[in-house]
Amino acid sequence: MCKGLYSQAAFVVGNAADGQTQPIQQRVGVFQGCPLSPQLFNIAVSPLLFALRRLPDTGVPLSGDDRPGASAYADDLKTFSSTKAGITKQHELVAKFLGWTGMAANPAKCSSMGVRRNGNGAVEADHLDLALDGTPIPTMTHMQSYTYLGIGDGFDHVRRRIELAPKLKSLKQDATALLESGLAPWQVVKAVKVYLYPRVEYALRHLRPDDQHLGSFDLHLRRGLRHLLRLPKNANNDFFYSPVSRGGLGLLPLVELHAALQIAHGWQMINSPDPATCRIAREQLHQIADARYRLDKEHWKQRGDELCQLFLNLELGTSGHAPPKRRNGDIGSLWVDVRKNLKAFGLKLATAPADPASGTPALPLQLRVPHHDKWLTHRDVLRHVKQHLKNKHWRAWCAFEDQGRTARAHGGVGSGFITRPRGMWESDYRFAVAARLNMVDTADTLARRRLRAHDRCRYPGCRWTESLEHVLNHCPGTMDAVRGRHDNGAGTPRARTATRPPGLQP
């Protein structure tokens, strides 16, 4: 399949100082973005991973049947073991594999960390003294961390909670640059969704940052969008986070995005197609439940799935076989956050009934959301959880007596302009957004905001309340524009209305 794929392969540089270059032969490596690249990484690294998996007395026991000892992403490799002898054996195997294949690792980009407990039970550093081709690998203490796939990997839990702060600061700066770039409002919103949010999604899936750090970015972005859309300060926040299909901007606060990612990530692990991942996730849940409740071991021995489901639904304490402990030494974790978020967003895990037609058995620990009548799958769980959160914001928007008056009427074709304005002027776009929130500066709106003494129409002789409906449809001062809008929409030439037969009423 790969033979001859890069035969006579070449490339040119089109913007060189003297114009386009002559073809440059591609003799080593692959082109940037070539779809063959990940396959080559898999072919090169997979034999090493299989060999590490078969290595005895290595890895970390995470469940009765599983002792994972290595993980890899492309050409990044991480080995770990519960003993110093185990990590030494793994390192020797990696060094032999590199020598056998002719590949080389850069010791300067590698790092090692060893920890142990002293006589008092405190954690302290235990240097491993590893080397590659005679070059020592840098060592770290247990208070340091190694950035692996953009996330600090170490034992300093306090530092990990704030390590997202620099990335959020950079995100704020980029959001400011977008807001001040002169792009149209809908272009800025799309850029935030496409370019800013994805930059923190991976980190949010694996870190537990403080909500105040995430909330500071949300506040910064809302202020910028209010200014960009010329909305007053009292414009409600839920409009920004309602789905586009219901008339909102379709954003999501980072605090809630973090929660949605945790729910989806946790659900995907306990329902993983990989049996080892599934076993390890359920074993972790069992250990956390055992730390927080006095479990009847005999009762729960054959009810592992039920135990996990009750724990995540915050219902385990109601069982007579698992009374909660008054005090426990458990620490925060992903699973504690998952069950907190499930409760906060009104979601529960349940058992999907068996399907006799397809022969599918009953499946525990499944998830469903109110707006979707099917059980969620690995492909759509994150999308539907985020949609569920956006729908909650839409319902909150509808609850506003004034700004939510028309929220239930938005959607479908009437909301297409939010993301695809199709030739609208920016002023028209801002007017339409302000109109949906009933924030256009009519006399009625200004009086409601206590910026005007009365709400009567400003057109001489008109005594009606100057609401937006009145101005757009009934005010004598705007009737020419109303008739023109009607004629344009109906495709009726203006000249024809001037030659109506006598006695014909308009």
> What does the DSSP assignment read for 107-176?
GGG--EE-EEE-TTS-EEE-----EETTEEPPEE-TT-EEEETTEEEES-HHHHHHTTHHHHHHHHHHHH
Give the position of tokens 């980190």. Answer: 203
358 falls within a domain: yes
* Residues 42, 119 within the same domain: yes
Domain region containing 128: 36-160
Q: What is the pLDDT of residues 297-314, one digit of tens each?
A: 999 999 999 999 999 999
* Residues 346, 449 within the same domain: no
368 falls within a domain: yes
Cβ neighbours for 84, distance < 8 A, ≥ 6 positions apart: 114, 116, 126, 128
Ranges of the chain whose pLDDT falls below 50 = 495-506
* Residues 357, 471 within the same domain: no
Last residue of a domain, one of 377, 397, 413: 377
Last residue of a domain, one of 109, 127, 160: 160
206 falls within a domain: no
Instruction: For residues 374 and 368, give the distance between their C-alpha atoms in angstroms, rounded to a whole number.
Output: 7
What pLDDT is recorded for position 203? 85
Instruction: For residues 388 and 259, give the distance between their C-alpha atoms in angstroms, rounded to a whole number.
Output: 12
156 falls within a domain: yes
**C-alpha closest to that of 251 among 338, 310, 192:** 192
Please give the helix or strand (H or E) that residue 95 lies within, else none: helix 84-101
Instruction: For residues 448 and 453, give the distance between their C-alpha atoms in angstroms, rounded to a whole number.
Output: 9
Copy the structure tokens of residue 168.
């959020």
Note the residue count of the chain. 506
Q: In 363-506, where does DSSP find H-type helix?
A: 381-398, 426-436, 443-448, 468-473, 479-490, 494-497
237 falls within a domain: no
179 falls within a domain: no
What is the number of structural domains in the chain?
A: 3
Instruction: For residues 476 and 138, give the distance between their C-alpha atoms in angstroms, rounded to a whole number.
Output: 81
Instruction: For residues 5 and 27, give the distance between their C-alpha atoms in angstroms, rounded to a whole number.
Output: 12
* Residues 365, 447 within the same domain: no
What pLDDT is recorded for position 498? 40
What are phi and psi for residue 129, nearest 5 degrees?
55, 55
Q: How far is CA 247 from the centre of its chain?
A: 21
Instruction: For residues 12 and 29, give the distance between their C-alpha atoms in angstroms, rounded to a whole number.
Output: 16
Q: What is the pLDDT of residues 255-302, one digit of tens each?
A: 999 999 999 999 999 999 999 999 999 999 999 999 999 999 999 999
Q: Give the CA-trace dihedral at 219, 221, 222, 227, to 10 degrees.
A: 130
126 falls within a domain: yes
What are phi and psi for residue 465, nearest 5 degrees?
-70, 135
Q: Are strands 139-140 and 112-113 parallel, antiparallel or unpaired?
A: parallel
CA 98 to each of CA 48, 75, 258: distance values in angstroms, whole numbers, following the listed order: 9, 12, 39
This prediction's pTM: 0.84
Copy the structure tokens of residue 337.
């956050």
Give the position of tokens 């496409």. Answer: 194
207 falls within a domain: no
* Residues 42, 155 within the same domain: yes
452 secondary structure, DSSP code: S
What are phi and psi for residue 125, nearest 5 degrees?
-70, 145
Q: Are strands 70-73 and 76-79 parallel, antiparallel or unpaired?
A: antiparallel
What pLDDT is recorded for position 496? 44
What are phi and psi for residue 236, nearest 5 degrees?
-70, 150
* Residues 472, 366 within the same domain: no
Last residue of a domain, one of 116, 136, 160: 160
Copy the structure tokens of residue 119.
């006589």
What pLDDT is recorded for position 383? 97
